[in-house]
Amino acid sequence: MKAIIAGGGIGGLTAALCLKEIGWDVEVPEQAAELGEIGAGLQMSPNAMKVFEALGIDARLATDGFEPEGIELRMGVSGLPLIHAPLGETARRRWGAPYLHIHRADLVSALADALETRAPDAVRLGQSVVSYDQDTSGVTAHLSNGTSLSGDVLIGADGIHSVVRTTMLGPDKPTFTGNVAWRAVVPVDRLGSDAPNPVAGAWMGRGKHAVTYLLRRGELANFVGVVERDDWTKESWNERGTREDALSDFDGWHPTITRLIEEADALYRWALFDRPPLPRWTDGRVALLGDAAHPMLPFMAQGAAMAIEDAWALASVLRNTTEIEPALSTYQTIRFARASAVQAGSRANATTFHQRSFPGRLKTYGPMWLAGRIAPKIGLKRQDRVYGYDIVAEMKAHAV
């Protein structure tokens, strides 16, 4: 059996590894000339790490990444701590796997190296899927270079602007959220005493919030800042912004945030668009995965994790079967409710992080501050539903 996987990003490479695990052949057309990711960080929560443990690449990720000491919520201007909950060994005991921060480029490299070892030359660089057709015997993906690939399944892992999704369902109609996100990665040795704490940190403020954490064994600091504004609406991962604009957006904030902006070599920004859950993820022998199926706002740090869970579920339903269409329908049934719930949770977090009024801040952040002093681990309980989920065990329970 053979799968064509449109897209060589995190979701596509993980899907290829999962399908190799069940004995399938894979080909991965990827439009980029080389595999890689622009500098940015990812939070790999335990639900994602369970898949990497099953694939045998968790040790490399642990070596390349950074394990935070805890989760920390602070006020953005004053730096007042609201909650500090432990991670590390606590995460392993509570959720069954570690919590890691990792540079996107390091994760892509680990996945690509593992795939090259298990399926040499599976990735076809400089090629992308532009359309597909299918019949009862298979599916054909037509590529940007004029050639075609045929297989038993086509997986659309081609991201937020998925061509496979557009072919399946037509163009989407995203809604601008009124939020623009900034991102940067800065060497820690430039930051001095203003370096972020070794935690997964969230900083909250009026109409904006920031996230900070360490990468690459603590050598780099990752910054993401989200601001409510409506004067810039370009949904591009590669668009640069100016230091002056970023500093203006976070004027008066804690020195940890402003120093990160001041020391960044490059600041990128992109407009955040929301998309409702799709009516379906499958079309015969074709299935969507990750951002192509359920693009979500970055307010729960679960976009990549959901794609990783999808990949394991998809391979599991295809194990030991030639009945492709029913298997893909089962995949959607298993994944739809969870992915949609995380989409909704990510959307709701924007309100939590961006309280503008004094009554709203008091109502939202006051209980957090009190809980942080009485029962610090209470913040972990809110994550049990997401971080404690085990897609590997779930698929065993489904006997697929």
Contact 27, 5 (CB under 8 A): yes
Contact 35, 8 (CB under 8 A): yes
Catalytic residue, chosen from 132, 213, 365, 387, is 213
d(CA 251, CA 227): 12
Q: How many CB atoms lie within 10 A of CB 154?
A: 28
Residue in 334, 314, 333 with CA at minimum distance from that of residue 324? 314
Q: Is 331 noted as a catalytic residue in this protein?
A: no
Measured over the CA atoms of residue 379, residue 76, residue 303 and residue 62, the dihedral's sign is: negative
Q: How many CB atoms lie within 10 A of CB 187?
A: 14
Structure tokens at 130: 């532009």
Helix (H, G, I), strand (E, B) or coil at 121: coil
Buried/exposed code over 328-366 (b: 16+ C-beta within 10 A; e: otherwise)? bbbbbebbbebbeebbebbeebbebbbbeeeeeeeebbe
Query: Which whole-number Å values give the CA distances from 23 to 54, 210, 289, in the listed order?
Result: 15, 43, 20
Residue in 155, 124, 125, 143 with CA at minimum distance from that of residue 14? 155
Structure tokens at 102: 């990792």
d(CA 133, CA 180): 37
List the catalytic residues.
Answer: 213
